[in-house]
Amino acid sequence: MTTLSASLTPRRLLDRVVDVFTSPKSGPVLVTAILFLLMYVGGGLRYHGFFAGQVVLNLLIDNAYLIVLAVGMTFVILTGGIDLSVGAVVALSTIIAARLLQLGWSPGVVIVLILIITSLLGLLVGLMIQVFKVQPFIATLAAMFLSRGLCYIIAKESITISNPFFKAMANIRISLGYRLSITPSVVIALVVLVIAVWVLQYTRFGRTTYAIGGGEQSGMLMGLPTARTKVLVYVISGFCSGLAGVLFSFYTLSGYALSAVGTEMDAIAAVVIGGTLLTGGYGFVLGSALGVLVLGLIQTVISFEGTLSSWWTKIFIGALLLVFIILQKVLTSRRT
């Protein structure tokens, strides 16, 4: 924040605060953060044991894979695109992992292979979008069908993972003090997050990503490598989906063709809640991580509520999402 000059009257200060909140750049993220805190405090007042530190850490543990997905999705949405294939690619990754581990491959090779395959898939999608001008929604929808289809071809049934390394990654807890712990997956997700923040804020690639969303034509006329960047964001999203798939298989210790159905919508919702515009150009990757935590917190509230039947859960999630988005819209709308 800029240093406040001595002549600042309360009136000006209010104006400045309103400006920050209504700017399309930072407003939605700030509002999301405030609403997240309100929801957390509200939950804490309502439910016993909600304030325990481990509840927050569990948000990270349960949603590590979703954070990684949302990071990849943020890159894509910042350029004005969208990636519907991420959920299917997660499923494909888990099933490749489970099948190859079953065949006795070493975990290191399997993980590297998955990341290469999913990145290549992202590359194909990116080329389809950039070279053949196919709309991102459709190109990634085709990739979604392809990935789900490949899942069924590899294995229709769920395969349990019994590999010692994967089991270790699922069970190891990194202690953070008294009764607080996280999993290695959380560390991986946070590392990915930090790298993404660095790439988007401090590299030319990141600047170009924002520029494409702001105005592709202008970016190209300025001599920015828009074509290369646009393909690369889909490679990044593919890579992140693969990594998220690996984390997901650490989490569930199985590979299943029908896992992670609809996860792409969770990832998109997280990115949008986190303040990124679907038309591109505005947004922060940290906001997306916050969006994931909001979705996770909604789930936590529901589990603390306890007695909800499965349909009320869905309605409740929809209703909370609705309240959240309306509040975000109202609080960030410009005064007329």
Partner 1 sequence: MKNVLNRAVGHRLFWPLVMLAALLLINVIAVPGFLSITVNSEGHLFGSIIDILRNGAPTLIIAVGMTLVIATRGIDLSVGSVCAIAGAVASSMILASPTPNNVGTVTGALLTALVLSLGLGLANGLLVAGLGIQPIISTLILMTAGRGIAMLITEGQIITVNSVPFAFLGSGFILGVPVATVAGVLIFALAALLTRRTAMGLLIEAVGINPEASRQAGVRARGLKFSVYALCALLAGIAGLILTSNQTAADANNTGLFIELDAILAVVIGGTSLAGGRYSLAGTLVGALIIQTLVTTVYTVGIPPIATMVFKAAVVTAVCLLQSPTTAAALERWRSRLATRHLQGVAAKAGAAR
Contact between 53 and partner 1 per CB under 8 A:
no
Segment interacting with partner 1 (CB under 8 A) among 20-28, 42-50, 231-239, 318-326:
318-326
Q: Are 299 and 233 in contact (CB under 8 A)?
A: no
Stretch that binds partner 1, among 25-33, 58-66, 98-106, 267-275 (CB under 8 A): 267-275
- 326 is an interface residue for partner 1 by CB under 8 A: yes
Among 27, 31, 83, 148, binds partner 1 (CB under 8 A): 148
Tell me if 229 sits within 8 A of 81, measured CB to CB: no
- Name 174's bridge partners: 182
Q: How far is the CB of 20 from partner 1 (least distance, A)?
A: 20
Q: Is 152 in the site for partner 1 (CB under 8 A)?
A: yes
Per CB under 8 A, does 314 bind partner 1?
Answer: yes
Residue 73: closest CA among 215, 212, 259, 278? 278
According to the binding rule CB under 8 A, does residue 312 interact with partner 1?
A: yes
Phi (first) and psi of residue 155, to 5 degrees: -165, 130
For the residues of 190-226, what is the DSSP string, one character each? Answer: HHHHHHHHHHHHHSHHHHHHHHHHHHHHHHHHTT--H
> Which lies closer to partner 1 via its Cβ, residue 148 or residue 224?
148
Let me know if 96 is exposed, middle or buried by CB neighbors in 10 A (0-12, 13-18, 19+): buried
- Calculate helix-pair angle for 53-78, 226-252, nearest 10 degrees: 150
Q: Is 145 in the site for partner 1 (CB under 8 A)?
A: yes
If one asks whether residue 269 binds partner 1 (CB under 8 A), the answer comes out as yes
Q: Does 187 bind partner 1 (CB under 8 A)?
A: no
Q: Which two tokens stand for residue 162?
A: 């019994």
- Identify the residue among 69, 92, 96, 150 touching partner 1 (CB under 8 A): 150
Please give the backbone phi and psi of residue 312, each rounded to the nearest 5 degrees, phi first.
-65, -30
Between 125 and 224, name the residue whose CB sits nearer to partner 1.
Answer: 125
The verdict on 141 binding partner 1 (CB under 8 A) reads: yes
Residue 310 lies near partner 1 (rule: CB under 8 A): yes
Q: What is the DSSP letter of 329?
A: H
Binding-site ranges for partner 1 (CB under 8 A): 82, 128, 131-135, 137-139, 141-143, 145-146, 148-150, 152-153, 156, 265, 268-269, 272, 277-279, 309-319, 321-322, 325-326, 329, 333
